[in-house]
Amino acid sequence: MTDETPPRDGESGPPPGVSASAPDAASPGSVDSATGLEAAEQGATPASAGSGAEPEVAAPVATSVPAADPRTRRAGILARLRKRRLALGAIAFVVAFAVLGTGAVAAGHAMAESRAAAEQKADVAESAKPSARPRPDTIAAPARLRSCSISPLAGDTRLGTFEGTVISATGGDALYDRGGATPVRPGSAMKLLTAGAALSVLGPDYRIPTTVIDAGDDSIAIVGHGDATLSAQPAGSASVYAGAPKLADLLSTAASTWTSRHPGKTISTVLLDASYWGTGDSWDATWPTALQTTGVVSKVTSLQLDGDRADPAVAISPRSDDPVAAVGAKALAALRAAAPGLVADDATALAATAPAGGTEIAQVQSQPVSQLVGQMLSLDDATLAETLGRLVSKKQGDGGSAASLTGTYATALAGYGVATTGIVVHDGSGLSTDDAVSAVFLARFAAEIAQSHDDLALLRTQLGRSGQSGALAGRFGGTSSADGAVEAFSGGGPGVRTLIGTVQAADGTALAFAFLGVGDAVNETADPALDALAAALHDCGANLSSI
């Protein structure tokens, strides 16, 4: 309730209608801005309208601000709090948005990095995967299981240590092998290599000359070039070498020419020149001397007659200790027979080299190499094999020594397309126990012969045929299913027996083979075991097992 006490003299009271109220307990500085704004809008009181008197200046009036209603104040405070809350909420929203946005960006970056890392790992994993094995354009047919075995036959004790290889004669595929890659002594099968080398280097048409040189004064020189077939047989008598040139013909021509060049002059010296290759290695150290005395082989000299046989008409005939010296007496006799009185009574013959620059006054030639090779194989002639081997070395520029033969043969045979790895050649006949050839080489060489490649067609004509011809005519029992189906070279030597060639199997398959039985006790009794192996090849054909 408000007290309305009349003002004292000199005090101004509130205008009429305005109630004075006690001041708010709060100091003026505590009045909120809204209350202060209402007080400022109140100005001085205007004059009364229609008054003619000069307006009276009002004395300053002390205005008291009414005390705010607590509810109003509370509402203001609440309003302000709401405004502050809204502002703080807005700020918090902005901050939260910024934080969340930054987090989202960071998370997006992290996710991108994680995704990139994952993709990189996937690429690495993909690249680490083994590439798929390429598929061939054509799928090979399943290999046939071959069940026909010859191994039990290969275990025959008569064969000693057996080594053998069988291949397709047309395709060269290996079908069976028992130690075939190991070089062993081949025995007389070495003659197949000598024949191949001679045909390759000398050629099938080459003929070996023997010449007579006018050596000056009262001398002539008979110069040998490696023809061991030159024969001392008289006209009308054949030696073991059919068609061989005759010493008589050579010296008859020489006598005639000498007489024309030196009328009335006699011959007192006949030089025997065997220097075409050296004479220091004319006998292999591994050859027993019995081979010479029993007539298997002569010393390897470039000048000799009839292979130095005591009996020129017999293949196996004792040989002398000096083939060159043996020519001397027969040459003097032939000269005297051709031209009586031409040769001095005291004429001599001696081994010597013909003087350089002498004039050739006579010459004869051997049968062509093609025929000599045939005679070597059909007669199993060791002397022909030795002289042909030395001739190959000489012609090839290797000097003609025995020591040169391994290299000579490797070069000469390489032209047939068969690897010569491991071949060791001490002689051309295979009599040396130091010779070494593998069954693999021999089988592949036999396949070349069967295909008649190059000049090897000649060798095929020299092979025996099972039960029908050559060395195999009386073998295979005559009633074997393989009769006539096997073409092969049958060989031997000290401690070795061989069968090398081809077989036309019952199913039409052509097989090439090389079978060798090696051992000190191995001899001719091994031949039936070798024949049984070849006959089994005929029966097995393409069904031949490698086991």
256 burial (CB, 10 Å; 0-12 / 13-18 / 19+) is middle
Q: In the sheet where 267-273 sits, what is the strand order?
A: 343-351, 267-273, 219-224, 209-216, 359-365
436 falls within a domain:
yes
Cα distances (Å, whole numbers) of residue 373 to 177, 316, 462? 30, 18, 9
C-alpha–C-alpha distance, residues 377 and 230, integer Å: 18
| Six-digit token string for 71 | 């509810």
- 328 assigned to some structural domain: yes
Look at residues 368, 395, 429 and tell me which one is the last residue of a structural domain: 368
Q: Is residue 406 part of a domain?
A: yes
For 361-379, b/e burial (b = at least 16 CB within 10 A) is: bbebbbbbbbbbbbbbbee
Q: Check whether residue 285 and residue 384 sit in a common domain.
A: no
User: Based on the domain organization, do 478 and 501 belong to the same domain?
Assistant: yes
- In this structure, the answer to whether residues 187 and 274 fall within a common structural domain is no
- Which pLDDT value is given to residue 481? 86
Claim to verify: residue 529 and residue 393 sit in the same structural domain = yes
147 inside domain: no
Q: Is 542 exposed, middle or buried (0-12, 13-18, 19+ CB in 10 A)?
A: middle
Give the distance, in angstroms, between the CA of residue 132 and the centroid of all CA atoms in the same chain.
27
Please check whether residues 345 and 397 belong to one and the same domain: no
Q: Give the per-residue pLDDT at 4.
A: 40
Structure tokens at 148: 């026909």
Answer for the pair 183, 424: CB distance below 8 angstroms, yes or no.
Answer: yes
In a domain, 39, yes or no: no
Of 368, 391, 414, the residue that ends a domain is 368
Which pTM was predicted? 0.74
Beta strands in 143-186, from DSSP E residues, in sequence order: 161-168, 174-178
Same domain, 525 and 387: yes
Question: Does 187 share its domain with 239?
Answer: no
In this prediction, residue 23 carries a pLDDT of 37
3-state helix, strand, coil in the chain (%, to 5): 40, 15, 45
Helix (H) or strand (E) holding 517: strand 510-518
Rounded CA-CA distance 80/76 in Å is: 6
Kindly state whether residue 113 falls inside one of the protein's structural domains.
Answer: no
pLDDT at position 141: 61
pLDDT of 121:
53
231 lies in the same domain as 190: no
Q: Same domain, yes or no, for 259 and 339?
A: yes
Do 358 and 214 share a structural domain?
yes
Print the domain residue range for 270. 206-368
Do the Cβ atoms of 373 and 234 come closer than 8 Å?
A: no
**25/543 Cα distance (integer angstroms):** 132
- Total domains in the fold of the chain: 2
Is residue 21 domain-resident?
A: no
CATH of the domain at 169: 3.40.710.10
516 and 390 within one domain: yes
Residue 42 lies in a domain: no
Characterise 226 by phi-psi region: left (phi > 0), alpha (psi -120 to 50), beta (else): left
CA 369 to the chain's CA centroid: 35
Q: What is the mean pLDDT of each run of 10 residues along the chain (547 residues)?
A: 40 40 38 36 37 39 44 56 54 47 46 52 52 64 80 97 97 96 97 98 98 97 98 95 98 98 97 96 96 97 98 98 97 97 97 96 98 96 98 98 98 95 97 97 97 88 94 83 95 96 97 98 97 96 94
Among 320, 335, 368, give the residue marking a domain's end. 368
Structure-derived torsion over alpha carbons of residues 448, 452, 457, 461, reported in degrees to the nearest 10 = 80
Quickly count helices (H) and strands (E) in the chain.
13, 11
pLDDT of 134: 65
Same domain for 236 and 166:
no
